[in-house]
Amino acid sequence: MEGEQAPRTGTLDIEYRTGPGFKAPYKDHRVRIVINSNTSQHWTYNVMGYLNGEFEPDRYILIGNHRDAWGLGSVDPTSGTACLLELSRVFGKLKQEGWRPRRTIIFGSWGAEEFGLIGSVEYTEEFYMNLVERAVAYLNIDIAVAGSYVLRVSGSPHLANVALDSAKTVRDPSAAFDDKTTLYNTMNVRLTSPGNNSNKNSFREIPMVLGGSDYYGFVFGVGVPTISAFYSYNFYDHWRSFYPLYHTSYETFRLMDELIDPGFKTHQAVAQIFGEMLRRLGDEYILPIDVVAYADYIQRQFDDFKSLNISKEITNHGFSFDYLEGAITNFSIAASNFNDRLKHIDKERVLDVRKVNDQMALLDRAFLDREGLPRLNLQQRIQRHVLFAPTNEHPFPGLYTAMKIEDEELRWQSVDKQLSVLTFTIESAASTLLDVVSW
């Protein structure tokens, strides 16, 4: 081919170039590609399993994996499917032996994820009223194992401690470590940025999920907090947008059995950490949710937004962040006071425990805006969460998107509105953490 040298090359003894066109003697040649696609309708199904809670059967901990794949899918999603099936077997065996969780655990095998998250989103839409009142958390196992280097966790900031504390209980499967090394120990070493080795707690600030898996309907549609995790390769030394064989026909059983996870010990470790998270969320008397971590996350978002150039544009246009900053401060105070009350709660008063548990479980719902965030075109889905957006990693996605509107008059109208919506929503969310008779 003609053109510039390709930035990445293969191992064949040829020149890798980007085109356009061909070199002599193939200069006048053309490539004809024939694609035959059959458009048809097919049924797809969600397969659900329920382990009823003993004391709070109307509070749900959900865990799910999609079972459809592009091709054979030994990584995506079958590594996660294997873990989900093993978890359902183990929890079923515990039930047979007489144990039941405090809250109901719901296992979901989603259909048609690769076609647009169809199964899980339809589930959250059909059972919206049940979930918005009763769901505590959703754990997502899409890919479980894409490498053998380190566990990567993403999710809601107030569930980060659940994932990281659970990682302290599971032995790292790598033969490079001794029997006392846990997933948490490995994350502490391998997820600390090479340029930031002095800060061994930096990995505790787990990133929020975006919109590419079955947590979408739960987080962005219903306001249910989530955790997603998988074992990956070394991103620092071998950076790719994702694992190289993603969605290819090379995702075979042999790939997993001989190359990625011989002996399937990494699968076992992933299943164990999800099992521990399920146990903690499903059975602990007081939910292990950290509302102060949520307050810290919002403060970091504010600091990050203030460092952007568009923040200076907003203030130069006459807007002030004082009310927003005040709302964030009020949320932090409310979260801190809530934690103090939690430490001194009378555990004998069952309804008092139920009350604070509901306040923690329902917190994310308070950040959903009924009208939705601004859209740059009608093809974009309506997004309702004022802090997280599935296609926008920037802080305060509504305000950020408003600044991207081309029409100047509409842009500043939208900025005015989104600044008000953000301030109001955070202030309102703070009120949900106050004593239920004192707000």
- Do 44 and 68 form a contact (C-beta atoms < 8 A)? yes
- pLDDT band at 49, cuts 50/70/90? very high
Report how far residue 63's alpha carbon sits from residue 119's, in angstroms, rounded to the nearest whole number.
14
Report how far residue 85's alpha carbon sits from residue 79's, in angstroms, rounded to the nearest whole number.
10
The catalytically annotated residue of 66, 158, 267, 385 is: 385
The reported pLDDT for the residue numbered 198 is 38
- Convert the pLDDT of each residue in 299-327 to its tens digit: 999 999 999 999 999 999 999 999 999 99
- Do 5 and 20 form a contact (C-beta atoms < 8 A)? no
The catalytically annotated residue of 113, 142, 251, 261 is: 113
Q: For this structure, is 385 an active site residue?
A: yes
Which of 132-146, 233-247, 363-377 has the highest average model confidence (pLDDT)? 132-146
Q: Is the pLDDT of residue 411 over 80?
A: yes
- Convert the pLDDT of each residue in 52-76 to its tens digit: 999 999 999 999 999 999 989 999 9
The reported pLDDT for the residue numbered 203 is 57
On whether the pTM is more than 0.85, the answer is: yes
Mean pLDDT of the chain: 92
Percentage of the chain beyond pLDDT 90 is: 76
Q: For this structure, is 358 an active site residue?
A: yes
The reported pLDDT for the residue numbered 199 is 43
The catalytically annotated residue of 284, 296, 358, 427 is: 358
The catalytically annotated residue of 202, 320, 428, 431 is: 320
**Across 132-172, where does the E strand assignment appear?**
135-140, 150-155
Q: 77 preceded by cis ω (within 30°)? A: yes
The reported pLDDT for the residue numbered 421 is 97
- Do 223 and 365 form a contact (C-beta atoms < 8 A)? yes
The CA–CA distances, whole Å, from 226 to 157, 361, 364 equal 9, 11, 10
Report how far residue 285's alpha carbon sits from residue 354's, in angstroms, rounded to the nearest whole number.
9
- pLDDT band at 204, cuts 50/70/90? low
Q: Which residues contact 146 (CB under 8 A, 6 or more apart)?
A: 75, 76, 79, 230, 231, 232, 233, 242, 243, 260
- pLDDT band at 195, cuts 50/70/90? very low
